[in-house]
Amino acid sequence: MSELYAWLGGKPLFLWTDMLIWLLVAVIVLGVSYTRRRPHLLEPWHRVAKSRLAMGSLVVLLVYVVIGLLDSLHYRPALEQSDQSEEVHYAVEALTALDWMVGGLRESGEKSYSAPLATHLYVREMVGESGGEVRRDYPRLKSGGAHLQNPQQRAADLVENSIVGGAKGLLLWLGIALLLVLLLTRKRQQISPRRWVVEVARGETATPWRTILLVTAVVSLLLMAAIQVGVKYHILGTDKVGQDVFYQAVKSIRTGLVIGTLTTLIMLPFAILLGIMAGYFRGWIDDMIQYTYTTLNSIPGVLLIAAAILMIHVYIDTNAALFETTEERADLRLLFLCIILGVTSWTGLCRLLRGETLKLREMDYITAAHAFGVKNIRIIIRHILPNVMHVVLISVVLDFSGLVLAEAVLSYVGVGVDPTMYSWGNMINGARLEMAREPVVWWTLLASFLFMFTMVLAANLFSDVVREAFDPRVHKGE
Amino acid sequence: MLNYILRRILYAFPILVGVNLITFFLFFVVNTPDDMARMHLGMKHVTEEAIENWKQERGYDRPLLWNESASGSEKLTETLIISESLKLFRFDFGVADDGRNIGGDIKQRMGPSLAIAVPIFLIGLFTNITFAMLMVFFRATYLDLSGVVLTVVLMSISGLFYVIGGQFVVGKLMHLVPISGYEGGLGAFRFVILPVVIGVISGIGSGTRWYRTIFLEEMGKDYVRTARAKGLSEYRVLFHHVLRNAMIPILTGAVVVLPLLFMGSLITESFFGIPGLGSYTIEAINAQDFAIVRAMVFLGAVLYIIGLLLTDLSYTLVDPRVRLS
């Protein structure tokens, strides 16, 4: 095994949140394959698939998810061997598959602030002239535009690089589109590829392929252009310690996704179990469960989170030996934040499920099942659970964007993710005083705003359509 | 009625006990007083004596749950859990780490908090309902559709950006009002206006959407059809029939947050330097002052329970069909 790692040049690092994320992916894959074979479950999804808004935002969300997943494969790179010993040492700092792919971005550090696409530092420094004179000037950046002989060529170089990047993006998009045409027309043989392309162009297909392809085109153009230019410049500038802001914003995607999804994954079993139990058994069980969630609900959420995070602080400080890398320590705190956010947010879903179960248990088919002597546990699993799943799904999708936004606020309060972890909240928190600075440093805030806003907006638009598609009240007549 | 209120207050008691147990567990069992003392006196170079002194000053020198050295029933009562809980229930919050009386601080800081939170709440309520009514009035037109899109966009912006952006544009570029700070009396107006405007704007997205759904739900009901069949104008239907009926969900939704206005807003207050309870809480969290955080948790829980009680009472006031039982 260790030889394999040595050959690969790194040793995988299994973080808790990584494993849970991949578990979630597995659950979703299983869920999709289960749903595909059942027309009655598939029906609301067909409604979602017909919505241009939902499909467009889904493409954006998928790009975020792919980046987040790539960022969830951690490894510790092997250190270069200084002596002749056989043993390979691994770095304390863990990297991810994403870091490996965008290597140039991570290593290009500057001294301090530099504006987006700049070739010079944003702050004056003592620069030694060749004649021995020393004066204060804006020094050239170490990596931003360092390939240029003369900084005045910057504009031409930028245009050239964006065109090259755009062309790459176009090629990527053409590849995707071609693949789609082949896949979709092979399945339905009554339609020729040519006819299909015409239909898509006119926007006549049932699934809004035109919208999907348009959004894909925009995203792939932007992505490839950003990569092309990003290797040579700092697209969104650098922060106070000279780190590339674009890189930080991209790395923060994973944190946002983890908080938005794992929190619900962790709270879901409790909410479902307790909610259904309270509604189904009623009596003292109901009283107990209601008491529990009213008590938890009455504590202000931020304070409960603060108290719990202060607690994990003490634990991490006293057990520092348990964590080999900083990533592991930050990861534990992230997981704990998800758990405690889950504890504060499961009550809403629990109450909804209780109400829904109270209604369902009076239904005729439940009475019939009782009359046949079906056991309670079986009734719950076979008759109640499938009929409340739409409530669960709607609330999971709706909660996502709220949790991503909550992360930023919690980081500001100082009880969010670990300060060493990349997150939009930490970026905003670090940069909030920069607006009061002279001259203003605006790019860190802009970067976190753009990345966060795009993801939350896409999630909100998508969840709206999902909620409408699954809400039985809306489709009563159909 | 009185009977009902009394019973509800009795119900509230076990919940407060539960809250108290949770906070006690978090603040005293997980982090023992020894840990706290060590943290405050500095992690290293702390003598046992200093820790004992620190604990004695705050009355934390008793055992947590069970006092072996005492006799009789004092084995139970002479413990931290009983003495600290009793203090909370008497609203005696003790002293903070800097030696100030927490109860006095809270009383003093409630004013600024309310000066921000009440205008935001009232103006926000009025604005959101107005926008929602307009959207419902023009429903299924492009005006309504663009309104829906706009609310989703507004909802997708983090509250932090509203504050940072507002401070930058109004305070720094236009120099209209001071960026942060506070003073008592009428002078407060200068300092309050920007946070209030930003607070209202940041709430428009979700608020308007929420009220729009409520109105649309009412619009689908039979009495609306009857009113239209009578030949009433759309304006009359909307403002005289729908608005009055929609007051029930609106009122109950608003009443539950009413007591929590006392707690202030964490972000607004700390960004604008308002000496209210929100910034008090944030300062306490950052300074790891557990006594203040515990007091605020308890206060928040009490206010939340009052909110629930008020909600139930307001139901009976606006909706004669609801009977208290």
What's the mean pLDDT in B22-45? 73
Residue with tokens 């969900």: B249
Classify residue A432 as exposed, middle or buried by CB count within 10 Å of its CB (0-12, 13-18, 19+): middle
Give A436's contacts in chain B (Cβ within 8 Å). 172, 179
Q: What is the pLDDT of residues B252-304, one digit of tens each?
A: 888 888 888 887 788 888 888 888 888 888 888 888 777 888 888 888 888 98
pLDDT greater than 80 at residue B67: no
- The pLDDT value recorded for residue A81 is 65
Domains of chain A: 245-470 (1.10.3720.10)
Q: Which residues pair with A135 in a beta bridge?
A: A127
pLDDT band at residue B310 using 50, 70 and 90 as cut-offs? confident
- The matching CATH number, chosen from 1.10.3720.10, 3.40.800.20, 1.10.760.10, 3.40.920.10, for B109-318 is 1.10.3720.10
Dig out the tokens for A371 from the structure: 């009359």
Give A310's contacts in chain B (Cβ within 8 Å). 31, 285, 288, 290, 293
- The pLDDT value recorded for residue A85 is 60
Question: Measured between CB atoms, does B65 come within 8 Å of chain A?
Answer: no
Dig out the tokens for B158 from the structure: 């983090």
- Sorted by sequence, the CB contacts under 8 Å of residue A46 that are 6+ apart come out as none
> Is the omega angle on the peptide bond into residue A77 within 30 degrees of 0, that is, cis?
no
CB contact under 8 A, A414 and B290: no
User: Where are the domains positioned within chain B?
Assistant: 2-89, 109-318
- Sorted by sequence, the CB contacts under 8 Å of residue A64 that are 6+ apart come out as A253, A257, A455, A458
- The pLDDT value recorded for residue A477 is 46
Instruction: Find residues 23-42 of chain B whose CB sits inside 8 Å of chain A.
Output: 23, 26-27, 30-31, 35, 39
Dig out the tokens for B187 from the structure: 């002078």
Give A428's contacts in chain B (Cβ within 8 Å). 158, 160-161, 164
- The pLDDT value recorded for residue A152 is 78
B269, B273, B274, B276: CA torsion to nearest 10: 70
If phi over 0 gives left and psi between -120 and 50 gives alpha, with beta otherwise, what is residue B81? alpha
- The pLDDT value recorded for residue A26 is 93
- The pLDDT value recorded for residue B323 is 64
Give A339's contacts in chain B (Cβ within 8 Å). none
Q: What is the pLDDT of residues B196-254, one digit of tens each?
A: 999 999 989 989 999 998 998 888 889 999 999 999 988 889 888 898 888 888 888 88
Say if residues A397 and A54 touch (Cβ distance below 8 Å). no
pLDDT band at residue B37 using 50, 70 and 90 as cut-offs? confident
CB contact under 8 A, A307 and B293: yes
10-residue mean pLDDT series, chain A (478 residues)? 71 86 92 88 87 91 93 82 65 80 71 78 71 71 74 81 89 90 74 78 82 90 86 82 86 92 88 92 89 88 83 74 77 89 88 90 89 91 89 88 89 84 89 78 89 94 89 60
CB contact under 8 A, B156 and A401: yes
CA distances A380 to A175, A275, A280, A361, A369, Å, are 48, 11, 8, 9, 11
Dig out the tokens for A38 from the structure: 């059942």
User: In Å, how far is A140's CA from the nearest CA of chain B?
Assistant: 30
Residue with tokens 């990345």: A451
ipTM score of complex: 0.85
CA–CA dist A328, A313 (Å, integer): 14
Q: What is the pLDDT of residues A291-347, one digit of tens each?
A: 998 888 888 888 888 888 877 777 777 777 777 777 888 888 899 899 989 888 888
Q: A250: closest CA among A7, A63, A6?
A: A63
What's the mean pLDDT in B91-117? 82
CA–CA dist A168, A160 (Å, integer): 12
CB contact under 8 A, B305 and A298: yes
- Which residues does A contribute to its contact with B (CB < 8 Å)? 291-292, 294-300, 302-304, 306-308, 310-311, 314, 401, 405, 408-409, 412-415, 424, 428, 432, 435-436, 440, 445, 449, 452-453, 456-457, 460-461, 464
Three-class secondary structure of residue A195 per DSSP: helix
- The pLDDT value recorded for residue B191 is 83
Q: What is the pLDDT of residues A228-238, one digit of tens each?
A: 888 888 888 88
Q: What is the pLDDT of residues B119-144, one digit of tens each?
A: 999 999 999 999 999 999 888 889 98
N residues, chain A: 478
pLDDT greater than 50 at residue B190: yes
CA–CA dist B289, B294 (Å, integer): 9
User: In Å, how far is A304's CA from the nearest CA of chain B?
Assistant: 8
- The pLDDT value recorded for residue A92 is 73
pLDDT greater than 60 at residue B325: no
- Beta strand A74-77 with A134-137 is unpaired
Nearest residue of chain B to residue A426 (CA atoms): B160
pLDDT greater than 70 at residue B72: no
Residue with tokens 């021995």: A132
Q: Which of B30, B97, B154, B160 to mutate to test the interface with A (most CBs of A within 10 A)?
A: B160
- The pLDDT value recorded for residue A131 is 63
Give A291's contacts in chain B (Cβ within 8 Å). 14-15, 18
Q: What is the pTM of this model?
A: 0.88
Q: Which residues pair with B101 in a beta bridge?
A: B95
CA–CA dist A279, A284 (Å, integer): 11
Give B19's contacts in chain A (Cβ within 8 Å). 295, 298-299
CA angle A226, A458, B201 (to 5 degrees): 105
Q: Which of A412, A433, A449, A461 to mutate to test the interface with B (most CBs of B within 10 A)?
A: A412
**In the predicted model, what is the mean pLDDT of chain B?**
82
Name the H helices within chain B.
2-24, 33-40, 48-58, 74-77, 80-89, 102-137, 142-155, 159-166, 188-219, 222-229, 234-236, 243-257, 266-272, 277-286, 290-318
Q: A338: closest CA among A315, A308, A317?
A: A308
Give A415's contacts in chain B (Cβ within 8 Å). 285
CA–CA dist A445, A292 (Å, integer): 40
Question: Measured between CB atoms, does B219 come within 8 Å of chain A?
Answer: no
A200, A204, A208, A213: CA torsion to nearest 10: 20
CA–CA dist B246, A260 (Å, integer): 33
